[in-house]
Structure 1
Amino acid sequence: MFTPDSTKTSTMGRPSSDVPPLVSLLSLLILINPSLPYSLKNCTIDYPENRPAEVSLDCTNRKLLSVPDDVPRDAVSVKLTINLLERIHREDFSGMSKLRRLDLDQNKIAHVDDGSFIHLVALEMLSMNDNQLVNLTADLLRGMSNLTVLNLNSNNIRSIDASAFRFLTRLRTVSLNSNMLRWVADVQPILLLPHIQKLSVSSNLFSSFRTEDLHLNGSSGLQVLDVSDNKLETFGITSPIFPRLQALDLSRCGQDTELRWDIPDRTLLRSITRLYLSYAVIPFREIRKALQSFDSLTHLRLNYMDRWIKKGLLATVCRIPTLRKLDLFFNHLGNNTEKLETCSQLTELDLSITHIKELSKGSIRSMNGLRFLNVETNRLTEVPVDVRNLSSLQILNMNDNLISELGCEDFLNTTNLVELYLNTNRIAKLDGCVFENLRNLKLLDLNSNLLWTFGGTFKTGLPKLEFLDLSKNFLVILERGDLKGLQSLKELNMKSEHIGRVPGKMFDGLNDLETLVVSIPLDYENRFRGLPRLKNLTIHLNTDISLQSPRPDRYNAFFHLKFLKVLTVICSGYHFGYPFDVPMEMLETMKHLEHFTAVNIYISAPDPNTFQFNPGLRSLTFGKTDLSDLDPELFRPLPNLQALDLSDSNIKSLDFLSGADLSELRSLKLTDNVITVINETLFRSLTALTYLNLDNNPFTCDCSNAGFIQWVKSNNRTQVVNAHQYTCSFPAAEQGSRLLDFDVQSCRADVDFLCFVSSCCLVVLTLLTSFLYHFLRWQLVYAVHLFLAFVHDRRRRKEGAPHRYDAFVSYNVHDEDWVYREMLPVLEGEQGWRLCLHHRDFQPGKPIIENITDAIYGSRKTICVISHRYLQSEWCSREIQMASFRLFDEQKDVLVLLFLEDIPSHQLSPYYRMRKLVKRRTYLSWPQAVQHPGVFWQNVRRALETGDEDAEDTDLLTGPAGC
């Protein structure tokens, strides 16, 4: 496409500083409005460098069939290129009143509903190149009152409605290249626009372009007209309708029939300063006639004009007194350069890609005002002799030639040269005198040559050189002081795979150097003492040169880089088993370090104390590193960290984020890892995060990721880049499906059911606990102690320990008088039994329930002295319950019931266990033994003498009924 304001200068600019992409992203994120980012189904958010707080969407190459429905209405730029859109509907861009740029290139759009752009009142640029539009209807472009650039190239447009452009009152540039337009009248509505400046209708079907076919009332403000690559038979300007026309492109016209030039009055062309006639099939006489018609031509392009050049066209060209810039690239000049001898008025000459082996001596010598000369991509084997005399030359481009040697006289008089490009040649060495006269040179590009020595070239001279590119050469050995003469140097690139040794003090004297890219072998001992202003350092560790272990003091080289802001360390080879870590000793003095990048450097995660001396670090990048054992303590000394890139680092889990203080983190990139499950709560703690990229991870599509999926869909703070394109790797049934398409409702149903069951169980447990505490708390306490007693008794019997007492006497305090008066004298005094009484034998200070338990299980028998008061006593009830439990648990004859009073059976009903015992067995009754007390005590003796026979074979209560 015609670009009249551009020239094929091919200037390099400056050597690459290898600043990591994350640094550029961070510079944009700093000013981002945190309320703007969000995750979209088919688009990502870009951050324009000039206006970083605005929403710019990139929906490129997503196979979209329609405009996404989730495009934010406040977007200022939308890029929908390389998709499958076939139609633009009226509602697709409704409400987008802030949109300034819309790119719909490379789709299949054949129809646009009238009024589809009516809401785009702020739109400034609309591009719909490479689509299938046929007609521009009257209302197709309605509403875009601020549109300044309209690109409709490579469609099938055949007709334009006369009122199609009536709404575009501010339109300046229209491109309708590669369409099916036939008549000049079709573009008349464009020429009537009040602010139109450029019209490009290249590659259409025009057979003529004559102003007499245009019916304009007055003149047009058009400044640039491109009618190239049409089958024009006639080009005629016969009326002054283009008084401001400055650039005219007639390239590749007249392919079928030779073009006829019809401009009777040369004053009609007096405003034209740029003319492009590349590959035009115009009769020699016509082109000479045309060139003689211009009074103010300053820039002429004659590409693919070999035939006319050989015929002497340059003689006519050189007679144009106003001509200053001549482009002859893409010609086959060969040895015809001598025909340029008379073009002494030129200031810029482009002879690139012209197949010249040499510039004929004297061909450019007369160009005393030449400031720019481009001879790149030719077959020159040496610097042209005429260059020596071009004292006015400022930019010389000799890239991509066959120059093998530079002589001391090559730049003898080019003392005003500012930029010199010599990359991609065959220069093997330099002599000290080569550049000694280039006192004003600021940029020198020598990359991609065969240099192996400087020959003292940079020890003196070049006092103003600021940018030097020596990369991709064969500099095996560097000498101390090789660069000491470059005192103004700001950027230096010495990246090379062949550097074998960089001596100490190599950079001494480069006091103004700010950016350095250097390759260093593994056993380097370089010193950076002479670089007090260095801010950006990129080190390429070269392991292919030396395989020996690094020196232990190698990190001393970095102790003088106190003002370094950007440090990049890259290893392009193999580790050979040696750790290329960057320890804290190396970073200790870099108090101002802001950006750190390490690619293929660490074998494992760096030491947690690595950055303890770099609190100002804002971006951190690790690549090709195994960070599976990453310690979150690594980030603790970095309170200002805003961008973190841990791509391709074998990260399996994001748990390290939970233990790291990353409250200022805004950008997090974790692509190409092995993350399967993500805990969304980790990201909730990153309160400043606005950019998250998790591309190319093997996600698991099950309920373990349900929280993360919901967070991605609902959060309006963090943009999860390409989240809707993440695919599942596990389980096998979900492999290949989209992560965000996973049905989280199924997980929610399970969770709801579990919550219901848990709630019900909790309510029941609460009620049961309250009931037990209120009504059965003592029974529970008793049961616990009973269990402990049971365990204790089992252990005692297992150990064969004897009983301490023959019987434990359980009685109520009101019956104590009977026990002392009647029982003790007989059983202990006469019969000699050892009895346990609670007032006498219980251990003071010990809980009473424990005393009861110990007494019952520490005695062979338990004698229960039962009366009405006994039955009403809580503790007596506990004692008989425990004794009866022992009875039924051990199935032994251990219980003796002794009734002091006659108690009816119905009064025993509340004591179901005792009632059951009384019904099953006989018992001893004191009221019935009043007449025969001796017999009564003999029966008690018989009960106490009973052994431990099984209860099934023995009368459990002992003694006859009714005694």
Structure 2
Amino acid sequence: MLFLTTLIFPLLIHLGASCGSDEGLMKQKNFYRDQCKCREYVGSYAICYNFRCQNFPKYFQTSVKCFKISGSGIRDFLPGDFENLAHITKLHIENNIALKTIQPGTFKKLYKLATLSISFNPQLMSLNEDVFRGLYSLVSLQLSNNGFNEIKDFSTALKVSFMPMLTTIILTELHCSRVEEDDFAYLSGSKVRNIFFDGSQINYIHPDAFINLKGLRNLSVSDTLVEEPNVIEILQKIKKNKIPLMSLKLKLWGNKTRVPHQLFNVIGNTTITELILNENQFDIIEQDTFPKMLNINTLILEESKITDIKENALINFPNLKQLYLKENKMVGIPLGVSIRTLEVLDISRNTKPESSCFTFKFDNMASLKILDLSYNNIIRIYNRTLHGLPNLKKLNLFQTNILLISNNSFKELRSLEYLDLGDNDFPQISWVKNTFTGLIKLKYLSLEKCKIKFFPSNDIFENLVSLQTLNLRNNFLVEIPQDLMISMSKMKVLDLANNRLKPWQERLFINTAVENLIISRNPFTHLTKAMLQDIADLKVVDVSNNPFHCECDQLIQPIHSLTDERINHILSLLNQTNSFCISPETDNTIVEYYRSNLERCSRERIIKILRHTAPLLICGFLLLTISFVSYNYRSHIRYWIFLLKLSTLRRNQLNKKRDFIERRINYIYDAIVSYSNEDRNFVIRLVNMLESYDPFLKLSVYGRDFEIETNVSESVLKWAARSRKTLLVISNSYINSEWCAWEAAIAENHRLFLENERGECVNDSLVMIQLGSISGCSISPMMKYLMKTRILLQWEPEENKQNLFWEKLRNALRPRLNN
């Protein structure tokens, strides 16, 4: 088993000191009460703070699993303070300058808590021996830089019965000067594997201090005052008690001008497999620097100002597999690194851009699997540069100032699975088909921050038949070539974050293996239907930090046009990354906006459709109605057209100067008589009185002067047109006669158009005689209108009034002069 402390230790520190970074957080919830300010960063952690906050805010609730109480004025933590936080897995009580006590029972309900940090609380002088009762799931405990003067101020609380799962104790920056023999006595039989004293003021550790920790695997006394003889005694006791210690960290341990040969000899005879000597000053590693160390398989010499490793300098490490030389001062791979057994070599950050070109050969390194050359000044990679690495699986060339990659430079790396070429300013001509020839097993390729605007040819990835992840983030790409997707049939992850992509209108991910698409931090203002259809086929998608305009047409309508199954899947994917609207009136995520505005947008869409289609529908309906009416009443329409022409002609006549006498020659008859047969006797007398006496009028009377032809309307209209006026004899029998009503309407309608601009009748061509009283309920609206607006004479049965009647009638019918 390889204990890579460069990976393990930072991870443990991260678990013990932080819940997560604020970077990238897009939404937070604030809460203020009793001087305590609490804030939740959604999906990350929650924190309560403020120096005026003197009591823990038990009322604050959060759904996140990491909680911090930091920078407060709380003096005491009491039982029940964390009752609302029983679900959390990480708790940080840090930087509380007034904190003095944590009472037993404070943590008793935190059954799920895995990481606890009580650090940087200067007035916290001790911990009660029962304070950790109930932390059955606790894995990592950090007690850094508090007010403890002795280890026993807190070690009596370190009991296996309270914390049976505890594996890591971080005691960095302690003010204690000694670690006594029984300080960890209560941890006998525990699962503790890791103890870190980094940066503490300890100058002595009792050799028997760790003999009860039978599972101890990793020990760090970096940057402490412990001296070489003390460490030797500790290691000898550990070996004697058969404790299988595997990693020893001596970072910043004071090796400046001399090499601790005696200590190295002791280490060589222990079970230690990983030796960490970071930030010591070795300058040059000679052949006699290290004694025989048969068990060491991992040697870490980072930031040690090494300029060279002489040939055979590491010959005493026959089983060395991992060598970390990060941030030294070498200008190339030294001869002493050429070790047949070496599998991992990290020699990153040695040369700077202004330095000479970093040189390297890989003779006798056929076992190398991981090579990190990042942040060196390499500039060029030729055909034979990477010769001799047939088993290499991972190669990191990030920010190596490469300006030239010759064709077939990687052709011998047929086992390579991971290649990072990020942050190199390659010219566009670098991207040709042969660039990646030979990389038939490559699964991960990073071209991040390479200032790529486009690929001159889409076949540059054609040889990457096993590629699963392509990282193109932080470039200048505007579009995703469709052929690019087709050429990489096995690609599952495509990272295009922070580019200049435009929304695509045609689908790109049809029949591809892509499952994870990252398109965050692009100038997308909306998601097209094609994009949504592509997203619906994915398992993971990140569209966060795009300037989305949450509007009905640009967001809800494209989503709503899909099937319910696809909509639910898309909303689930979008909800994972909390993609927010940039609209000033809302801070909702896309999903929240969709769900809260779907109904409103649906109504608005219907209204918008109706607003555009209603006029068309109305016009269509009217057109159909007009067509139907025109066909079925075509004869009547011809009649109305005739009336219109007639009225137009007469209106023109009325506008002429009235300086002439109406000429009778224009008409054959002075009036046409319309009557009911039941009033025939009165009509005979009427005709006699009007035609036999001055002014000798001529009347058109049905039966005497004309007969009804086949077309009733045409017949009546023809005889009415030959008569200057129309005379209606109105009685109850006339009103109840359908024929008379029709005859009256035809006779009069062609005269109704004769009105002036004020709607007033301009002629008296219709004259009516009323015989007796008439029932009002029988009179049609048309007849009522005519009786009110035209000349109406009442027949009087009394003889003395009849002369006046006939005089009025003759005056109404006689031709008269126009003024």
Q: TM-score, normalised by structure 2?
A: 0.68
Correspondent of 1:136 among 99, 102, 109: 102
| Matching of residues 919-958 of structure 1 within 5 Å | 923=793, 925=795, 940=810, 943=813, 945-946=815-816
8 Å contact 1:811–1:865 — kept in the other structure? yes
* Deviation of the 1:796 alpha carbon: 5.2
Does residue 5 of structure 2 align to residue 7 of structure 1? yes
Instruction: Please name the residue that 2:434 is paired with.
Output: 505
| Matching of residues 452-531 of structure 1 within 5 Å | 452-457=379-384, 460-495=387-422, 496-499=424-427, 500-518=429-447, 519=450, 522=454, 524-525=456-457, 527-531=460-464
| Matching of residues 860-939 of structure 1 within 5 Å | 861-872=725-736, 876=741, 879=745, 889-899=759-769, 901-903=771-773, 923=793, 925=795
Distance 1:804 1:930 in 2: 34
Distance 2:313 2:9 in 1: 18
Task: Kindly provide the amino acid, as one letter, of the partner of residue 609 in structure 1.
Answer: E
Distance 2:226 2:214 in 1: 21
* Deviation of the 1:306 alpha carbon: 2.5
Query: Between the two proteins, what is the percent identity of the paired residues?
Result: 14
Distance 2:219 2:804 in 1: 149
* Deviation of the 1:624 alpha carbon: 6.7
Distance 1:88 1:855 in 2: 108
Inter-CA distance 662–158: structure 2 relative to 1 (3 Å threshold): farther
| Matching of residues 227-306 of structure 1 within 5 Å | 229-232=174-177, 235-237=180-182, 243-244=188-189, 275-281=219-225, 294=238, 295=240, 298=245, 299-306=247-254
Distance 1:817 1:649 in 2: 92
8 Å contact 1:861–1:895 — kept in the other structure? yes
8 Å contact 1:151–1:175 — kept in the other structure? yes
8 Å contact 1:291–1:317 — kept in the other structure? no
8 Å contact 1:476–1:498 — kept in the other structure? yes
Gaps (5+ residues) in structure 2? 12-18, 605-636, 656-665
8 Å contact 1:63–1:83 — kept in the other structure? no
Deviations 1:110-150 (A, max 9, x none): 15453244576666654333335322234433444565654
Structure 1 SS opposite 2:157: helix
* Deviation of the 1:538 alpha carbon: 3.6
| Matching of residues 402-801 of structure 1 within 5 Å | 402-406=329-333, 409-412=335-338, 414-426=339-351, 428=357, 434-457=361-384, 460-495=387-422, 496-499=424-427, 500-518=429-447, 519=450, 522=454, 524-525=456-457, 527-539=460-472, 571-572=475-476, 580-587=478-485, 598=496, 605-606=503-504, 608-611=505-508, 613-614=510-511, 622=519, 632=529, 635=532, 640=537, 643=541, 645=543, 647-648=545-546, 651=549, 653-657=551-555, 658-660=557-559, 661-663=561-563, 664-665=566-567, 690=575, 693=578, 695=580, 697-700=582-585
Distance 2:497 2:138 in 1: 49
Distance 1:463 1:591 in 2: 26
Instruction: Please name the residue that 1:761 is paired with.
Output: none
Task: Kindly provide the amino acid, as one letter, of the partner of residue 891 in structure 1.
Answer: C
8 Å contact 2:151–2:176 — kept in the other structure? no
8 Å contact 2:367–2:392 — kept in the other structure? yes
Task: Kindly provide the amino acid, as one letter, of the partner of residue 290 in structure 2.
Answer: I
Instruction: Please name the residue that 2:311 is paired with.
Output: 385
Instruction: Please name the residue that 1:683 is paired with.
Output: none
Deviations 1:794-826 (A, max 9, x none): 755566699999788574544585699678899
Does residue 84 of structure 2 align to residue 180 of structure 1? no
Task: Kindly provide the amino acid, as one letter, of the partner of residue 129 in structure 1.
Answer: E
Structure 1 SS opposite 2:283: coil
- Where relative contact order (Cα < 8 A, 6+ residues apart) is larger, the structure is 1
* Deviation of the 1:419 alpha carbon: 1.2
Distance 1:60 1:807 in 2: 97
8 Å contact 1:374–1:397 — kept in the other structure? yes
CA RMSD of aligned residues (A): 6.0
Structure 1 SS opposite 2:554: helix
Deviations 1:160-197 (A, max 9, x none): 55654555566665544333345766547624552546
8 Å contact 1:864–1:898 — kept in the other structure? yes
Distance 1:619 1:106 in 2: 37
Distance 1:473 1:805 in 2: 116
Structure 1 SS opposite 2:262: helix
Task: Kindly provide the amino acid, as one letter, of the partner of residue 88 in structure 1.
Answer: F
Inter-CA distance 827–403: structure 2 relative to 1 (3 Å threshold): farther
Structure 1 SS opposite 2:284: coil
Gaps (5+ residues) in structure 1? 14-44, 47-56, 200-221, 326-346, 540-567, 574-579, 669-685, 719-743, 745-750, 752-783, 950-963
* Deviation of the 1:355 alpha carbon: 3.4
Structure 2 SS opposite 1:318: helix
Correspondent of 1:87 among 35, 55, 71: 55
Distance 1:794 1:101 in 2: 91
8 Å contact 2:124–2:147 — kept in the other structure? yes
Instruction: Please name the residue that 1:205 is paired with.
Output: none
Distance 2:499 2:27 in 1: 35
Inter-CA distance 908–799: structure 2 relative to 1 (3 Å threshold): same
Correspondent of 2:301 among 362, 368, 375: 375
* Deviation of the 1:717 alpha carbon: 13
Q: TM-score, normalised by structure 1?
A: 0.59
Does residue 92 of structure 2 align to residue 115 of structure 1? no
Inter-CA distance 264–310: structure 2 relative to 1 (3 Å threshold): same
Greater mean alpha carbon deviation, residues 480-489 or residues 225-234: 225-234
Distance 1:170 1:808 in 2: 117
Task: Kindly provide the amino acid, as one letter, of the partner of residue 5 in structure 2.
Answer: T
Correspondent of 1:190 among 157, 167, 170: 157
Task: Kindly provide the amino acid, as one letter, of the partner of residue 361 in structure 1.
Answer: Q
Inter-CA distance 710–324: structure 2 relative to 1 (3 Å threshold): closer
Structure 2 SS opposite 1:319: helix
Inter-CA distance 793–396: structure 2 relative to 1 (3 Å threshold): farther
* Deviation of the 1:484 alpha carbon: 1.1
8 Å contact 2:371–2:394 — kept in the other structure? yes
* Deviation of the 1:418 alpha carbon: 1.0
Distance 1:8 1:820 in 2: 128
Deviations 1:504-534 (A, max 9, x none): 3232222212222345675734633322222
Instruction: Please name the residue that 1:319 is paired with.
Output: 266
8 Å contact 1:394–1:416 — kept in the other structure? yes
Instruction: Please name the residue that 1:955 is paired with.
Output: none
Structure 1 SS opposite 2:433: coil
Structure 2 SS opposite 1:899: strand
Instruction: Please name the residue that 1:348 is paired with.
Output: 274
* Deviation of the 1:394 alpha carbon: 1.0
Deviations 1:29-52 (A, max 9, x none): xxxxxxxxxxxxxxxx99xxxxxx
Inter-CA distance 940–170: structure 2 relative to 1 (3 Å threshold): same
Inter-CA distance 65–263: structure 2 relative to 1 (3 Å threshold): same
8 Å contact 2:194–2:217 — kept in the other structure? yes
Distance 1:364 1:926 in 2: 150
Task: Kindly provide the amino acid, as one letter, of the partner of residue 761 in structure 2.
Answer: Q
